[in-house]
Structure 1
């Protein structure tokens, strides 16, 4: 096995791990006992000190702020704000699936701005993954949970745009900066934005109990491990490929929502989860670089 193939396999493994970790986010948001934007604020604030220490160790300090990392921070703050509100209004599975329709947007943006070409087999795999995600969202059984499912679904769907911008911005920033430095600056950028949003919406800023604080702390750890893994892998994989792998997130979230909040998966949702995973696998096969032909 070539060194390039081994490196790509390691990047894929790290990306899948990061996606699974991020899949726990909606559960922790539900347990945080703070407002939706406030939960995002604590997630970023509690992660920032450790990110600074990690940047000092891996990148020689936080350095100057890469412009693309600042853009990633703005996009990520919008992503968290819209997504956390959708988690409050619809099911965990729906909120996570609809925001992960971002591969469609990522593929287009990566093709336009990053000149990353995709072939017809990749597009077909992408369609399968997104179609499976749609089945999870719209195949919910009667009496599905949520205070306002239609509005929650719409907010989650709009999150796909912000998530796509975040992916493309991080991918661009990784050309000239380390993953930890990008994580630090994007996180620092998002903190004041989410705090202002929480105050403007009249949210409860402080968690109500020790359990709520523990959930906020877990959100901070999840942010470092999950988003850090994704940022690292984005420096080694095309943005379009990486965005499809992250479709694993809603599958993890749906299973946890079923286990912890009794949000049952209907038959169509289960079929959608299988289709999404199949799309992820097929996308990786379609995007493998072709072996070089030996010269005669």
Structure 2
């Protein structure tokens, strides 16, 4: 069991690092932001189909199966997630766009509080305040060198957290009866034409103008399968709180690559805001972990 847990943790770390490449590839794709999302899905589809069709799986999980209305809803959330996030990458720095989307765990806990009456502990409320203060500081601290419109890009990145939270909660419901591979396959297959429609409606350049652009689009497909797929696989073997904290490697990788490749810098205020936001997310996960521990202790039989 310990070796299996270690293996899952190593896969999760590697997957989070791979996902850190996504905003860099979006910048290099040489297409419109939504079009980059379409090509990400298009290149990922053959790989996902091969994964769900591979031998060695249980008979009821082999093959693509059929989509449901709930999977269609997950696809819609995923399309909104990528559309807003890719546009945030176009308007603000890679570091801001990637870090602000990590408000998702806080959003998920807040939705669970409001929708499912899962009242959070006081520590979560502190975490929420810290994370939101960090997000505001990151946006307010921009000096204009982080992109053509940092404030709008930061807003898009923050809204992305809402859409990804919707996707996360929908997939959580689905996972009780549908494999991760089928969810990824159908959410990608249903989302691809939607992203194509968004790109065409906004008049974006659809096809990359260079071989390097095509390679970046193909790379996005690989990142989609290896990064998202690896995280989904690891979630079946690790506590969700541990996984949510571990994937914070993603914005660190993205920020370093943005600095190396695009000479993007962050002001002192933005660095402080990023640290506060990530600290808030960690505190939120600690709150969730303590709550589960308390519930388990209360439910334990008295000897």
TM-score norm. by structure 2 comes to: 0.82
Tell me how far apart the structure 1 counterparts of residues 126 and 149 of structure 2 sit (CA, whole Å): 33
Counterpart residue number, 1:88: 90
Tell me how far apart the structure 1 counterparts of residues 233 and 137 of structure 2 sit (CA, whole Å): 30
Does 2:224 correspond to 1:218?
A: no
8 A Cα contact 1:89 1:149, kept in partner: yes
Tell me how far apart the structure 2 counterparts of residues 236 and 125 of structure 1 sit (CA, whole Å): 26
8 A Cα contact 1:37 1:81, kept in partner: yes
Counterpart residue number, 1:54: 51
Summarize the Cα distance change of 1:188–1:210 in structure 2 as closer, same or farther, 3 Å threshold: same
Q: Which residues of structure 1 form unaligned runs of 5+?
A: none
Does 2:35 correspond to 1:34?
A: no
CA deviation after TM superposition for structure 1 residue 69, in Å: 2.5
Tell me how far apart the structure 2 counterparts of residues 104 and 45 of structure 1 sit (CA, whole Å): 31
CA deviation after TM superposition for structure 1 residue 98, in Å: 2.6
What are the equivalent positions in structure 2 for 1:1-296 lying under 5 Å apart? 3=1, 11=8, 13-57=10-54, 58=57, 59-111=61-113, 118-125=120-127, 127-129=129-131, 131-140=133-142, 142-235=143-236, 242-243=243-244, 245-279=246-280, 282=283, 285-286=286-287, 287=289, 290=293, 296=303
Deviation digits for residues 27-69 of structure 1 (CA, Å, limit 9, x no counterpart) = 1100000111110000001000110110112431111224433
Tell me how far apart the structure 2 counterparts of residues 22 and 127 of structure 1 sit (CA, whole Å): 27
Tell me how far apart the structure 1 counterparts of residues 34 and 273 of structure 2 sit (CA, whole Å): 29
Summarize the Cα distance change of 1:172–1:7 in structure 2 as closer, same or farther, 3 Å threshold: farther
Summarize the Cα distance change of 1:174–1:17 in structure 2 as closer, same or farther, 3 Å threshold: farther
The count of aligned residue pairs is 292
Tell me how far apart the structure 1 counterparts of residues 17 and 283 of structure 2 sit (CA, whole Å): 19
CA deviation after TM superposition for structure 1 residue 270, in Å: 2.8
TM-score norm. by structure 1 comes to: 0.84
RMSD: 3.0
